Structure 1
Amino acid sequence: MIKRGWFVIPILCSMSSVAEEANVPASTQAAYNSIALWVGSGTTNQDWLEGSNASFFEVEGGYLYSSNVLVNINYSAQFFHPDSYTVRVDRALLSAGYRYALHEKLDVYAFYGLGGFREEERQKSTDTKLNSEKGLLRGGKVGFHYFATDKLSVQIEGEFTRSDWVDEDNAKVSVAYQWGERFGSSAFYKYRDAGKDYINEAGISLKWVY
């Protein structure tokens, strides 16, 4: 009987999580229970990588485990295009977080995660690999969601990542609109601060809510 009882524990935990999630407003669930594709571009400052074009895409999956506990997995690829070579940086991060409702329309949340990165430089004319490195990635973020209406929301977020290649402190502002129960989109501006270097970025995202 004791051995069989162990099978009940994960079931009860799952039922508790579902029950708690049912009490969370639909607009809040849409902000956290989703898979999103972010696409953007910008430019570096002149002293960093020759003031080159910088583009990126990012795939992010979020899960509202309970009314407050969050899980997030993130993969991004960033591309720099100086005159004679290209730089690609891949990052993957698995994070756990917590949200707190300051008001029925205002959430604050925080994440911390671990993962890895890979950086590669290639000559444009010959596609010869010039440099490559990989290592541990650490990152965290704190942000606010303001739910103006059931469909319209504003997000303000501060984020940091630490790696052997570059340390970044980022700020992002985005405006999102939920077109239906499952589909949403947003436009955003992001400032990436890499010490004395920086990138100004803007882009859009598409989101599917599950």
Structure 2
Amino acid sequence: MPEVIFPGPEGRLEGRYHPQKERDAPIAIILHPHPQFGGTMNNKVVYNLHYAFHKMGFTVLRFNFRGVGRSQGEYDQGIGELSDAASALDYLQSMNNNSKHCWVAGFSFGAWIGMQLLMRRPEITGFVSVSPPANMYDFSFLAPCPSSGLVINGTADKVAPPSDTTALVNKLKEQKGITISHEEVEGAGHFFEEPYMETMISSVSGYVKRRLTETSR
């Protein structure tokens, strides 16, 4: 899978780009967890999401936020990271301008950034939020949430308690015109350590495939 370097707001950003042969393949961007707590694009959840989307026929990009790995710049409280994500999406779109579907998937801190990106980019048709830290970050900007998506978390998550995630989902579900699906992986912690990773990826794949089938009818 080719390593790519593309321009970001604070210098170059490092990513992994995995294209499909079909020119109109759907595209997906995958966002990693908190840079100050060891989050990188090679995080296991991010890596597995990347390959799951590629397996489903998506052209996929994951990348390191500013200050992580070979990406330039330094941590910016989520503000700069949102700009990084927008630049990554620009880069992905510039190489796939025939794509009809655009998805964003994020894990933990990346889920928070992904949901903000969703608000800025009307072309995003679906999202996957894995372990969104609703206890740490304010998600009230999702008013209204512009597209349907999946929120998935573990019932034994000690980093982002399930009760906060459920409260977030219930709030989003009150909005008309979109459908928020919520799945919980019984016994899984924040990072979906084995044997839970497979269950989580299988749930995500099942959801995305259903959505793609619905839109292609």
| Structure-1-length-normalised TM-score | 0.28
> Which entry has the higher C-alpha Rg, 1 or 2?
1
- Higher helix fraction: Structure 1 or Structure 2? 2
Structure ranking higher in strand proportion? 1
